[in-house]
């Protein structure tokens, strides 16, 4: 099969091709259910640096359309033009090359951006397993755009504001929070500091058929001065990282709440009466330091109700181990050095645990703030007799 590779035409609008790609991905079976069926995962970041290779192996010999699209857009692996054309049609495949979403390399095509399927929507973002491809789809430079991840989906699922007409998504990144409200909201505003993120969020609005998402570039509330909203959502950079020069989506200062504090401080002035706010964050804590004390300081000037749900707690070493995974492509020694660096940093600040929190607030009386432990409880295992007990029983 011959695939026209097209010449890039930077003046051409990519929106119609993205709409055709949306249809093609759905028709080709690239859905969250497919990812669960083929890879056994429920969250996009269930595949990370440690299990990327086994995930590729699981579907290596599967020549179906869904597997082709998963390999290309989710696992970020090269694919033959013939297989992509068969999954998406030759014309669409050529268009994606023209726009620089697909690029020819060593006789195969690679996706320059990843695509995540979230419910029935699709989100372009920068790649997890490959270097950032700066000029794909006419995007400008800037920091990498955060792909929808567990924290994104947790927040997206948690937001409960069915009657919200005016929605503000702070720190929008790919736009994964904002676009969830397309079916119900009248006006959606999405803000991000990173020019690449605002460009990506606009592309994702077009990708999902939305022409009424108002994407603005700026620092938190600066682009919405004087405006009030029925719903404010925020997934800010919240990692208690030793790096201050990393990507804009990542570090949240010493404790992780540097941006979150400013977000909460703006709720009083930007929420309409009975307006609701939802945010997700990490919060690093010292030995014996209760979350209540830290949370109270966030809400000192908020006159409504607030609920802080503790979703998960881990140690400083757990955070270091998870955050250092990116160093694995430089080898195990580099990974070990990175873990050490994170642990040293957190210990220097005396942080012992890190909590994952979901914050919910409503501009309504009575003024109150509650912290609730919402960590899933597990039954003590084993429920059946242990192997040793079985052997002992069999032996009599």
Ligand X SMILES: C[S@@+](CC[C@H](N)C(=O)[O-])C[C@H]1O[C@@H](n2cnc3c(N)ncnc32)[C@H](O)[C@@H]1O
Could you say which of 116, 126, 192, 230 contacts ligand X (CB under 6 A)? 192
Could you say which of 179, 197, 260, 264 contacts ligand X (CB under 6 A)? 197
> Which C-beta is closer to ligand X: that of 235 or that of 324?
235
Task: Count how many residues are written for the chain.
Answer: 396
> Which C-beta is closer to ligand X: that of 243 or that of 292?
243
Is 157 a binding residue for ligand X by CB under 6 A? The answer is no
Minimum separation from the CB atom of position 340 to ligand X (A): 25
Q: Which helix or strand (DSSP H or E) is residue 280 part of?
A: strand 271-286
Minimum separation from the CB atom of position 338 to ligand X (A): 20
Is 193 a binding residue for ligand X by CB under 6 A? The answer is yes
Q: If you search the block for the tokens 């794909």, which residue do you land on?
A: 136
Question: Considering only residues 260-299, where is the footprint of ligand X by CB under 6 A?
Answer: none
Minimum separation from the CB atom of position 96 to ligand X (A): 24
Could you say which of 55, 97, 113, 191 contacts ligand X (CB under 6 A)? 191
Could you say which of 219, 292, 318, 373 contacts ligand X (CB under 6 A)? 219
Radius of gyration of the chain (CA): 23
Beta carbons within 10 angstroms of residue 369's beta carbon: 18
Could you say which of 235, 281, 324, 353 contacts ligand X (CB under 6 A)? 235
Task: Give CA–CA dist 265/218, Å, rounded.
Answer: 17
Residues in contact with ligand X, counted by CB under 6 A, come to a total of 23
Task: Give CA–CA dist 396/389, Å, rounded.
Answer: 10
Closest by Cα among 191, 266, 265 to 228: 266
Minimum separation from the CB atom of position 150 to ligand X (A): 10
Alpha helices in the chain (DSSP H): 15-27, 32-39, 52-58, 65-69, 81-88, 90-98, 150-158, 195-207, 258-265, 267-270, 291-298, 316-323, 332-348, 387-395
Is 369 a binding residue for ligand X by CB under 6 A? The answer is no
Task: Give CA–CA dist 371/294, Å, rounded.
Answer: 11
Minimum separation from the CB atom of position 257 to ligand X (A): 13
Is 188 a binding residue for ligand X by CB under 6 A? The answer is no
Minimum separation from the CB atom of position 234 to ligand X (A): 8
Is 177 a binding residue for ligand X by CB under 6 A? The answer is yes
End-to-end CA distance of the chain: 69
Stretch that binds ligand X, among 40-48, 93-101, 193-201, 202-210 (CB under 6 A): 193-201
Is 144 a binding residue for ligand X by CB under 6 A? The answer is no
> Which C-beta is closer to ligand X: that of 171 or that of 320?
171
Is 249 a binding residue for ligand X by CB under 6 A? The answer is yes
Label the pairing between strands 166-170 and 229-234: parallel
Could you say which of 68, 172, 323, 353 contacts ligand X (CB under 6 A)? 172
Is 259 a binding residue for ligand X by CB under 6 A? The answer is yes
Label the pairing between strands 271-286 and 229-234: parallel
Minimum separation from the CB atom of position 28 to ligand X (A): 24
> Which C-beta is closer to ligand X: that of 52 or that of 261?
261
Stretch that binds ligand X, among 5-13, 57-65, 170-178, 330-338 (CB under 6 A): 170-178
Give the residue nearest to ligand X (CB).
Answer: 173
Could you say which of 44, 148, 256, 275 contacts ligand X (CB under 6 A)? 148
Stretch that binds ligand X, among 172-180, 269-277, 285-293, 377-385 (CB under 6 A): 172-180
Q: If you search the block for the tokens 């432990």, which residue do you land on?
A: 373
Is 121 a binding residue for ligand X by CB under 6 A? The answer is no
Q: Which helix or strand (DSSP H or E) is residue 188 part of?
A: strand 187-192
> Are 257 and 298 within 8 A, CB to CB?
yes
Sheet holding 305-315, edge to edge: 213-217, 187-192, 166-170, 229-234, 271-286, 351-362, 305-315, 368-373
Task: Give CA–CA dist 178/197, Å, rounded.
Answer: 13
Task: Give CA–CA dist 68/85, Å, rounded.
Answer: 10
Which residues of the shown chain bind ligand X in the complex (CB under 6 A)?
146, 148, 152, 155, 171-174, 176-177, 191-194, 197, 219-220, 235-237, 248-249, 259
């Amino acid at each position: 099969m011959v695939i026209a590779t097209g010449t890039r035409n930077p003046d051409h609008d990519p929106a119609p091709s993205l709409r055709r790609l949306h249809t093609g991905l759905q028709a080709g079976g690239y859905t969250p259910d497919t990812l669960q069926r083929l890879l056994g995962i429920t969250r996009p970041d269930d595949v990370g640096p440690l299990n990327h290779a086994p995930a590729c192996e699981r579907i290596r010999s599967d020549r179906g359309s869904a597997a082709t699209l998963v390999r290309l857009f989710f696992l970020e692996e090269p694919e033959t033009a013939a297989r992509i054309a068969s999954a998406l049609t030759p014309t669409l495949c050529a268009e994606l090359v023209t726009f620089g979403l697909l690029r020819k390399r060593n006789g195969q095509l690679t996706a320059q951006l990843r695509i995540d399927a979230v419910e029935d929507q699709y989100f372009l973002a920068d790649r997890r397993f490959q270097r950032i491809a700066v000029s794909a789809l006419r995007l400008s430079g800037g920091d990498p755009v955060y792909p929808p991840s567990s924290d994104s989906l947790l927040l997206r699922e948690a937001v409960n504001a069915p009657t919200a007409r005016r929605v503000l998504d702070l720190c929008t990144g790919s736009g994964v929070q904002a676009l969830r409200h397309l079916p119900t909201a009248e006006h959606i505003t999405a803000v991000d500091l990173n020019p690449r993120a605002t460009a990506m969020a606009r592309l994702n609005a077009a990708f999902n058929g939305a022409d009424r998402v108002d994407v603005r570039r700026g620092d938190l509330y600066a682009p919405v001065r004087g405006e009030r909203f029925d719903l404010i959502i925020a997934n800010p950079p919240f990692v208690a990282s030793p790096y201050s020069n990393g990507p804009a989506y990542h570090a949240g200062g010493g404790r992780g709440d540097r941006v979150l504090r400013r977000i909460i401080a703006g709720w009083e002035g930007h929420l309409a009466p009975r307006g609701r706010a939802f945010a997700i964050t990490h919060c690093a804590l010292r030995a014996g330091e209760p979350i209540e004390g830290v949370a109270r300081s966030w809400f000192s000037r908020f006159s409504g109700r607030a609920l802080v749900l503790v979703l998960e707690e881990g140690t400083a070493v757990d955070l270091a181990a998870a955050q250092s995974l990116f160093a694995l492509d430089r080898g195990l020694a580099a990974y070990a050095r990175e873990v050490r660096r994170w642990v040293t940093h957190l210990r220097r600040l005396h942080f012992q645990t890190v909590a994952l929190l979901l914050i919910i607030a409503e501009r309504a009386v009575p003024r109150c703030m509650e912290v609730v432990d919402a960590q899933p409880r597990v039954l003590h295992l084993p429920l059946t007799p242990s192997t040793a007990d079985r052997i002992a029983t069999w032996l009599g």
